[in-house]
Structure 1
Amino acid sequence: MDFLTRKVWGDYINTNAQPTGEHEVHTSSCAHGPSIKNRINLGIFHNSSEAIREAKRYYNNVDGCFYCCPENHRR
Protein backbone atom coordinates (compact mmCIF):
# COMPACT_ATOMS: atom_id res chain seq x y z
CA MET A 1 0.00 0.00 0.00
CA ASP A 2 1.31 3.43 -0.89
CA PHE A 3 2.27 5.55 2.13
CA LEU A 4 0.08 8.45 1.01
CA THR A 5 -3.07 6.34 0.79
CA ARG A 6 -2.82 4.73 4.24
CA LYS A 7 -4.97 6.01 7.06
CA VAL A 8 -2.67 7.47 9.71
CA TRP A 9 -3.82 7.89 13.31
CA GLY A 10 -2.68 10.59 15.69
CA ASP A 11 -3.65 8.96 18.96
CA TYR A 12 -3.75 9.77 22.65
CA ILE A 13 -4.87 8.12 25.87
CA ASN A 14 -7.19 9.57 28.48
CA THR A 15 -5.37 9.95 31.81
CA ASN A 16 -8.71 9.71 33.62
CA ALA A 17 -9.99 6.15 33.88
CA GLN A 18 -13.57 5.29 32.94
CA PRO A 19 -15.92 4.28 35.80
CA THR A 20 -15.15 0.65 34.88
CA GLY A 21 -11.40 1.26 35.29
CA GLU A 22 -10.02 1.38 31.76
CA HIS A 23 -8.19 4.26 30.08
CA GLU A 24 -9.51 4.95 26.58
CA VAL A 25 -7.47 5.52 23.44
CA HIS A 26 -8.82 8.16 21.02
CA THR A 27 -7.82 9.49 17.62
CA SER A 28 -6.86 13.13 17.39
CA SER A 29 -10.07 13.90 15.49
CA CYS A 30 -12.43 12.20 17.98
CA ALA A 31 -15.20 14.44 19.32
CA HIS A 32 -15.55 12.22 22.42
CA GLY A 33 -12.02 12.55 23.76
CA PRO A 34 -10.88 14.24 26.96
CA SER A 35 -9.59 17.78 27.34
CA ILE A 36 -5.98 18.48 26.41
CA LYS A 37 -4.92 18.49 30.08
CA ASN A 38 -6.29 14.95 30.54
CA ARG A 39 -4.47 13.18 27.71
CA ILE A 40 -1.10 11.72 26.82
CA ASN A 41 -0.04 11.90 23.19
CA LEU A 42 0.88 8.39 22.04
CA GLY A 43 2.19 9.25 18.57
CA ILE A 44 1.11 8.52 15.01
CA PHE A 45 -0.03 5.02 14.05
CA HIS A 46 -1.43 3.25 11.01
CA ASN A 47 -4.16 1.52 13.04
CA SER A 48 -5.67 1.62 16.50
CA SER A 49 -4.13 -1.73 17.49
CA GLU A 50 -0.69 -0.12 17.33
CA ALA A 51 -1.94 2.75 19.49
CA ILE A 52 -3.43 0.32 22.04
CA ARG A 53 -0.09 -1.48 22.27
CA GLU A 54 1.69 1.83 22.93
CA ALA A 55 -0.95 2.89 25.49
CA LYS A 56 -0.25 -0.26 27.51
CA ARG A 57 3.18 1.17 28.25
CA TYR A 58 1.33 3.74 30.40
CA TYR A 59 -1.64 1.78 31.77
CA ASN A 60 -2.44 -1.93 32.07
CA ASN A 61 -6.20 -1.51 31.59
CA VAL A 62 -6.65 0.09 28.13
CA ASP A 63 -9.64 0.18 25.77
CA GLY A 64 -10.39 1.76 22.40
CA CYS A 65 -13.02 4.47 22.17
CA PHE A 66 -16.46 3.22 21.08
CA TYR A 67 -16.66 6.00 18.47
CA CYS A 68 -13.19 6.33 16.94
CA CYS A 69 -11.54 2.95 17.73
CA PRO A 70 -14.48 0.51 17.60
CA GLU A 71 -12.32 -2.42 16.48
CA ASN A 72 -10.52 -2.21 19.85
CA HIS A 73 -13.47 -1.23 22.04
CA ARG A 74 -14.14 -4.01 24.58
CA ARG A 75 -16.37 -2.45 27.27
Structure 2
Amino acid sequence: MANYRLNLNQQPNGDYEVHESGCTYYPTVNYNDLGSYNSCGPAVSEAKRKYPSKQINGCVHCSKPCHTS
Protein backbone atom coordinates (compact mmCIF):
# COMPACT_ATOMS: atom_id res chain seq x y z
CA MET A 1 0.00 0.00 0.00
CA ALA A 2 1.12 3.54 -0.70
CA ASN A 3 0.21 6.83 0.91
CA TYR A 4 -1.53 9.40 -1.30
CA ARG A 5 -1.82 13.16 -1.02
CA LEU A 6 -3.87 15.76 -2.86
CA ASN A 7 -1.85 18.79 -3.88
CA LEU A 8 -3.98 21.82 -2.99
CA ASN A 9 -2.04 24.03 -5.42
CA GLN A 10 -4.11 24.20 -8.59
CA GLN A 11 -2.38 23.30 -11.86
CA PRO A 12 -2.54 25.73 -14.85
CA ASN A 13 -5.22 23.52 -16.49
CA GLY A 14 -7.44 23.71 -13.36
CA ASP A 15 -6.60 20.25 -11.97
CA TYR A 16 -5.75 19.38 -8.39
CA GLU A 17 -3.49 16.34 -8.59
CA VAL A 18 -3.31 13.20 -6.46
CA HIS A 19 0.25 11.94 -5.85
CA GLU A 20 1.65 8.67 -4.51
CA SER A 21 4.44 8.68 -1.92
CA GLY A 22 7.79 8.51 -3.68
CA CYS A 23 6.65 10.73 -6.56
CA THR A 24 8.98 13.56 -7.52
CA TYR A 25 5.97 15.87 -7.21
CA TYR A 26 4.67 14.47 -3.88
CA PRO A 27 3.60 17.61 -2.02
CA THR A 28 5.25 18.51 1.28
CA VAL A 29 3.31 21.75 1.84
CA ASN A 30 -0.31 22.75 1.05
CA TYR A 31 -1.75 19.26 0.70
CA ASN A 32 -4.45 16.99 2.07
CA ASP A 33 -3.39 13.52 3.21
CA LEU A 34 -5.79 11.04 1.60
CA GLY A 35 -4.52 7.88 3.31
CA SER A 36 -3.05 4.57 2.16
CA TYR A 37 -4.45 2.63 -0.77
CA ASN A 38 -3.49 -0.25 -3.08
CA SER A 39 -3.90 1.95 -6.16
CA CYS A 40 -4.64 5.49 -7.26
CA GLY A 41 -8.35 4.85 -8.00
CA PRO A 42 -9.59 4.84 -4.40
CA ALA A 43 -7.31 7.78 -3.55
CA VAL A 44 -8.76 9.87 -6.38
CA SER A 45 -12.28 8.86 -5.32
CA GLU A 46 -11.54 9.98 -1.75
CA ALA A 47 -10.20 13.32 -3.00
CA LYS A 48 -13.34 13.83 -5.09
CA ARG A 49 -15.51 12.99 -2.08
CA LYS A 50 -13.65 15.48 0.13
CA TYR A 51 -13.54 18.20 -2.52
CA PRO A 52 -16.56 17.77 -4.82
CA SER A 53 -16.19 21.24 -6.33
CA LYS A 54 -12.54 20.74 -7.34
CA GLN A 55 -11.32 19.25 -10.61
CA ILE A 56 -9.37 16.21 -9.30
CA ASN A 57 -6.94 14.21 -11.42
CA GLY A 58 -4.18 11.66 -10.90
CA CYS A 59 -0.57 12.70 -11.45
CA VAL A 60 0.68 11.73 -14.93
CA HIS A 61 3.96 10.52 -13.38
CA CYS A 62 2.92 8.45 -10.34
CA SER A 63 -0.82 7.87 -10.83
CA LYS A 64 -0.94 7.45 -14.60
CA PRO A 65 -3.95 5.05 -14.61
CA CYS A 66 -5.96 7.84 -12.93
CA HIS A 67 -4.68 10.69 -15.11
CA THR A 68 -7.47 11.82 -17.44
CA SER A 69 -6.44 15.20 -18.84
**TM-score tier after normalising by the smaller chain length:** 0.7 to 0.9
| Residue 23 (structure 2) pairs with residue 23 (structure 1) | no
Q: 1:9 — aligned with what?
A: 2
* Bigger strand share: 2
1:56 aligns with 2:48: yes
Number of aligned residue pairs: give it: 67
Counterpart residue identity of residue 49, structure 1: G
In structure 2, stretches of 5+ residues that fail to align are none
Scaled by the length of structure 1, the TM-score of the pair is 0.81
Gaps of 5+ in 1: 1-7
**Secondary structure at 2:34 match in 1:** strand
In the TM superposition, residue 33 of structure 1 has moved relative to its aligned partner by 2.5
Greater Cα radius of gyration, structure 1 or 2: 1
Amino acid at match of 1:46: N
SS in 1 for 2:29: helix
Give the drift of 1:58: 3.0
Structure 1 runs of 4+ off > 6 angstroms? none
1:44 equivalent in alignment to 2:36: yes
Give the CA deviation at 1:51: 0.2
Structure 2 length normalisation: TM-score?
0.87
